[in-house]
Amino acid sequence: MLTKRIIPCLDVKNDRVVKGVQFNNLRDCGSPVDRALLYEQQGADEIVILDVAATVEARRARRDTVSNVRAALSIPLTVGGGVASVADVRELLNAGADKVSINTAAVTRPDLIDELAQNFGSQCTVVAIDAIKAGASWVVTSHSGTTRTEIDAIAWAQTVVDRGAGEILLTSWDRDGSKAGYDLEMLEAITRAVNVPVIASGGAATPDDMVQALAAGADAVLAASMFHDNVYTVAAVKSELRTSGCEVRL
Amino acid sequence: MSQSIHIVDTGIANLASVQAAVNRLGSKPALTRDAQVVEQCPYLILPGVGAFGVGLQSLRAYKLIDALLARIERDQPTLAICLGMQILCRASEESPGVSGLGVIEASVTRFQSPRIPQIGWNNVSPTQPEFFESGHAYFANSYRLAAAPSGWNCAIADYDGPFVAALQRGNIVACQFHPEISGAFGMSLLKKWATLKPQEVLPC
C-alpha cells in the first residue's frame, strides 16, 4: 500500500535555510545539507527545496545547494523557485533534483507545463499553486504571493493536470506561516477536482493538522517551521499519524 | 568496493541521483553511450524516466539495443530502474506499436487507480525469499507490470491491485521503484546487486 508522505520544506536563500511568514522577516535555520540529512534520519519521505531568492546571481548558489544536498541525501528531492524554462529544469535535474516544481512561470506561460511533461515526464513535473480565499472559492497568486490573479484555483488545478503536471503542491497563501492548520476546504475541493497526487502546504502547526489534511484527500503533507523550530521531529509526527490510523513509512 | 559502475546515459533520466547513490556505495559512477562498454563492462545500470517510446528511441539512436541484449544474454550484472525495467519488457500501453527489448516476457499497462502517477513509498514484498527483502521503496510511475512473468524472482507491491515491484534472474535485476532514492532499503539492494559476480570479460 502506498504510504502518506511527510515532506519537510527548506526555503533556501544564498545556501542557507530561512523561514519567515510569507517569505518576509526571514530567520536563519542552518545549512540545507545539515537540515536535509537531519530530516532524512528522522524518517522524512522526501525533501523540498524552494529557492526564495531566485535572482540570476542566486541561481549558481541554488545549483550548488542542490548538488550538495543530492550528494548526501538518499531520498527524493524536489526543487523549485524561479524555474522558468526547460533549460532551468534540465540544469536542476543535472544538479540532482528528482522532481522540479514550477509556479509563477506556469501562470505566465502555461505551455511550459506541456514542455516539461514532454521532455522529462509527468512524474518529474510538479506545479505549485499558491492560492488565497476569494469569496466562496480560491484564486491563484503568483510571484510569491505578491500578485493576485483572477484565475480560479480549482479550474487552474484541472488545467495544469490536463497539460501534464504529475503532482500539485498546493499552498494556502492565507495560512502560510500562520500555524492555523491547512486550508482543509480548499484541499478537499482541489483533490476532488484532479486525479494526480496533491501535497498540502501552508499552516501546519501540529501532527493533528496533518491527520486532517490527509483525511481531506491530500497524498502528502509539507511543513517547514514545525520541523525547523524543533517543536516536532519527523519521527514524532509519523508516530502520531500512525496512531491516528494513517499509513506512514516508519 | 572501488570498481566502476557504468550508467547508460539516456540523457533524460535523473542521472545525478543515480550517480550520487553509486558514490555512496563506494563505487565510481561512469556515464556511457558506448556500445562496447554497454555490452562488456562488469556492472551496468539502465536508468530511465519519461515515456517508453522516447526511452527506446534514444537507445536505438545510440545503437545500444544489441549491446544491451548481448550483455543480458551473457548474464552480465545489469540493473534496470523504473522505465529501464519497462524497456526490458515486450511492449507498453504507453507507446503502442513500439517494441521493447523483450527480455521480460510481459507487457506494461497503465494503472487503474484513482490517482496517477503513483508517487511515494510503497511496501515491497518478495514472493520468493531468494533475492529481495521486504521494505518501503520510492515509486514514481503511471505504468506497471500487472503480473509476474515466469522464470524470474519477483517482489510485488499494491496500488489498487498488485503489481510487479522488482524482478531478478541471475545477474539481471529490474526495479519499478527507484533504489537510488529509496533510503536504506534502496542502498541495501544496490549493494547486493553490486556484489553479484560478473562474467570474465575483456577490460573496457
pLDDT at B48: 81
Q: Report if residue B153 sits inside a domain.
A: no
Q: What is the pLDDT of residues A210-231, one digit of tens each?
A: 999 999 999 999 999 899 988 8
Q: Which residue has the higher pLDDT, B48 or A38?
A: A38
Q: Are B76 and B198 in contact (CB under 8 A)?
A: yes
The verdict on a CB contact (< 8 Å) between B116 and A196 is: yes
Residue B120 counted as domain residue: no
**Which residue stretches of chain A have pLDDT < 50?**
none
Residue B150: is it exposed, middle or buried by C-beta count within 10 angstroms (0-12/13-18/19+)?
A: exposed
Distance CA B146, CA B143 (A): 9
Q: Do B14 and A71 touch (CB under 8 A)?
A: no
Domains of chain A by residue range: 5-243
For a pLDDT cut of 70, what percent of chain B falls above it?
96
Interface contact B12, partner A, CB < 8 A: yes
Model confidence pLDDT, tens digit, residues B62-99? 999 999 999 999 999 999 999 999 999 999 999 999 99
Q: Is residue B177 part of a domain?
A: yes
Is the ipTM here above 0.90?
yes
Residue that has been written with the C-alpha cell 519497462 in this structure: B86
Q: Where are the beta strands (DSSP E) in chain B?
A: 4-8, 28-32, 44-46, 78-81, 89-92, 104-110, 118-126, 135-141, 143-144, 153-158, 162-169, 172-175
Which chain B residue is nearest to residue A37, measuring alpha carbons? B183
pLDDT classification of B173: cutoffs 50, 70, 90: very high
- Within 8 A of B121 by CB-CB distance, chain A residues are 2-3, 5, 45, 249
pLDDT tier for residue B200 given thresholds of 50, 70 and 90: confident
Q: Is residue B158 part of a domain?
A: no
Q: How far, in Å, CA of A101 to CA of A112, rounded?
A: 12
pLDDT value of residue A208: 97
Residue B136 in any domain: the answer is no
CB B167 within 8 A of CB B85: yes
- Other CB atoms closer than 10 Å to residue A56's CB: what's the count? 7
Backbone region of residue B54 per phi and psi (left: phi > 0; alpha: psi in -120 to 50; beta: other values): alpha
Q: How far apart are CA A12 and CA A224, in angstroms?
A: 11
Q: Supply the range of the domain harboring residue B54.
A: 4-105+166-194
Grid cell in block for residue A78 = 524536489
Question: Domain with B176 in it: what CATH number?
Answer: 3.40.50.880
Burial, A136: exposed, middle or buried (Cβ in 10 Å; 0-12, 13-18, 19+)?
exposed
Q: Is B203 helix (H, G, I), strand (E, B) or coil?
A: coil
Query: Greatest CA separation found in chain A?
Result: 46
Instruction: Please report residues of A whose CB lies closer than 8 A to that of B21.
Output: 74
Residue with cell 543530492: A70
Q: How many domains, in total, are found in chain B?
A: 1
Q: In the CATH scheme, what is the homologous superfamily, with its name and number, of domain A5-243?
A: Aldolase class I (3.20.20.70)
Amino acid (1-letter code) at residue A180: A
Catalytic residues of A: 11, 130
**Residue B104 CA: distances (Å) to CA of A117, B86, B145, B153, B154:** 27, 9, 10, 12, 12
